[in-house]
């Protein structure tokens, strides 16, 4: 091999190395951008799930589809109890209102009259008195009483979901291990 041919080979090698250097610089820059983005603790990426969210209005349908799920998340936001599930490539969601009951009582001599009851948006409020949500999850109750200046009394029954009890109940109800049930949400 002549001297000129050797110089040409060295030039070719240098060109290839410069191209690889540019590629590496681009990759390092992209990696730096990715690492600088904030990541929520506990974030889990699960591949293979479709882009559709199936929202179910009836607990028995949700339960039927979500038995032995890959991941279940639940949360209490405002007056709503939310449950989400990932199973076999599908994303399912269920929610229901956590009830609150207001009862106004009026004194009429020796009698106390229940003037009215107010329930927060439910089809059938009778289940409220069983201390459970429509899905069957037991709730804790807190009662308050306010005496009005006119002698009437307003009673409020406020229901609350205990996260640890919810995790245990969901594990039993959906036949899923507790370690696969998280208190939080599943976001897309």
- What average pLDDT does this structure show over 30-49? 48
Pairing of strands 53-56, 90-97: parallel
CA 12/CA 8 separation, integer angstroms: 6
Domain boundaries in the chain?
A: 1-37, 53-97+163-183, 100-160
Q: Which pTM does this prediction carry?
A: 0.64
Report pLDDT for 92. 93
Question: How many CB atoms are closer than 10 A to CB 178?
Answer: 13
Whether the CB-CB separation of 153 and 169 falls below 8 Å is answered with no
Architecture of domain 53-97+163-183: 2-Layer Sandwich (3.30)
- What average pLDDT does this structure show over 169-188? 92
CA 188/CA 177 separation, integer angstroms: 23
């Amino acid at each position: 091999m002549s001297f000129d041919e050797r110089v040409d080979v060295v030039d070719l090698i240098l060109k290839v190395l410069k191209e690889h250097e540019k590629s590496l610089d681009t990759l390092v820059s992209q990696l730096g951008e990715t690492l600088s983005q904030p990541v929520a603790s506990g974030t889990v990426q699960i591949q293979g799930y479709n882009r559709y969210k199936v929202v179910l209005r009836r607990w028995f349908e949700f339960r039927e589809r979500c038995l032995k799920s890959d991941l279940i998340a639940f949360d209490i936001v405002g007056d709503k109890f939310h449950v989400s599930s990932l199973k076999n490539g599908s994303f399912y969601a269920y929610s229901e209102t956590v009830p609150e009951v207001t009862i106004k009582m009026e004194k009429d001599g020796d009698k106390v009259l229940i003037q009215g009851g107010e329930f927060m948006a439910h089809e059938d409020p009778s289940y409220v008195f069983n201390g459970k949500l429509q899905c069957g999850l037991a709730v804790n109750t807190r009662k308050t009483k306010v005496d009005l200046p006119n002698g009437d009394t307003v009673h409020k029954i406020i229901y609350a979901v205990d996260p640890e009890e919810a995790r245990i109940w969901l594990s039993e109800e959906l036949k899923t291990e507790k370690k696969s049930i998280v208190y939080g949400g599943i976001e897309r």
